[in-house]
Structure 1
Amino acid sequence: MATTKLPLAAVVMLIALLLFLPKNSFAACSIPHQLTNGQVADATAVMDDVNAVAACADAAVVPTGTPQAGAVTVFTGPNSITSGDLTGDVTTSGGTATSLSPTGVTPGTYNNASVTVDSKGRVTAVSSGAGVTSFTKYTVAQGGDAFIDVPLAADGGFAYHVFIKGVPSANAGIGFRISSDNGATFYSGSGDYKWGTTGSDSYVNISAGSTVGSGRETLIDFTLAGMNVVATDRFDLTGGVFSILSSGTPINGHIGGTANAVGSNNFNAFRIFALAGTMDGFAVYVGRLY
């Protein structure tokens, strides 16, 4: 069978690229045939040289370990590679998907936040600012109820901001009572905690002096403070009543004082109730101040 002869010019470019790249690119390779300019190249000799260069390239980089398909390529030496993982703030685990390391900050919404940022711009600490109030909404337990009960903080917090919003079912006042047994009972008798030091009322009429119209939107806004650590302590209410028929009528009442038959005990719940009718459509929003 006749030997196929190839012009030297057809292959010299490939050999030249492999032989004359900078020496620090890879180790020198030995080829079996030296071809010179002007020589008619034999195909077998050319293929021997090409195969020798390919074998040299294969030997230049050797896989180590058991590389995983799709993993990150890691050079373990000048002539060896394996699969590995990224480490640090961004990591991988046996693949190319990256994961950002947590900063330790709890996800959430922070009001009036105090924030600590590291040199990489990541939030490493955050807390809500002091004095910021987060309101909790309370509604009637079921339709037709005449009251809404609100528990207070178990750790003795004793100042609260209270909003009451709704439409009265009748032209009646809105009352405020207190409890010292977590809302199981509320003081309501003539011998119980009274409004100030006189009279027989055991509640504060927080809409006193206001005309709260039936079927009219009403907003009551007051601050509640006080603990009856001793018998002379009082729960004070200061604020105002706003409705279609009144504007900013002052609330300035208190429960407690010296004329009562109930021993000292921390108040831990209060009740907003209708002096007549029901509380349908009402909601009470309570935020602890301190």
Structure 2
Amino acid sequence: MSLFWRMFLSNAAVLMLATGLLVGPWVTVSSPVLMHETLVLGGGLIAMLVANALLFRIGLAPLKRLTKAMADANLLEPGQRTRVTGGGELTELTETFNVMLSRLETERAESSCRALSAQESERRRVARELHDEVGQTLTAVILQFKSLADRVPRALHEEVITAQEAVRSSLDEVRRIARRLRPGVLEDLGLPSALRALVTEFSAPGVTVSHRVDGSLTALGAEAELVLYRVAQEATTNAARHSGASRIDLKLRAAGARAVELTVSDNGKGFHRATEGAGLQGMRERALLLGATLTLGSHGSGGTTVRLRVPLPTGGAI
């Protein structure tokens, strides 16, 4: 039965009941209306209003649930669906919304995959240009300074050496940036070695980073390893920049027989439902690519914990 007929028939039943009481021997109205008759009519009116309110509340409850589901829908947290109840237009509307949400989640995942793939390609291109072009140019400048240091007067020798060391420091920084953009260790030696290198090279004033990585993890796949590495990289950077932490702990371990879990925790000021920035949204989008679960919260002693749980591909083993 459609929503229109349900509401119409429920109201018709209330009106028919009221009419039957008025025309029957149970309720009579004098002229002028007596006080007790006024009380009876007023009570009947109140009863009709209450009955209508209850009927409308029950009839429109599925629509209210659907409205709340629409307001709470988040494509970065897939799998949320509205329970199909009622009948007629409401059932059709709820089913249509669920289908639309599934389609949007699929399209969002596909577009995120394309965007992240393009981002990684651009990172590799920039890293290659930094290493091959800027790196080679700075190396040539260092060699020129070295040659010049042997020919300049002694009074200028220290200045030339200082300039040479400044260029060498810039070269080291360019190489470090290139490694962060394109983690060659990840491609050559795998995720455990790449995470250890990430922690070793991580530098932030007053921040100590420790790691505990299970080196026996295998069969994760290149895509899963890249997602885990990027989430670890982003989480440690966010903790150092925004949490005011003095210590960051990074852990990678097996989570049962069918998943691996990455945890990045700090002792900073915690996460108090602040607005999610581009970094956290990027981590959520990367998690969607693998069907992984990303959770963020504060633990009892203060600080923030980022936890990424990645299911192993079918046929994979630890």
Q: TM-score range by the shorter chain?
A: under 0.3
Which of the two has greater strand per residue?
Answer: 1
When you count helix as a share of all residues, which structure comes out higher?
Answer: 2
TM-score where L is the length of structure 1 = 0.27
Larger Rg over CA atoms: 1
Greater RCO, CA 8 A, separation 6+: 1
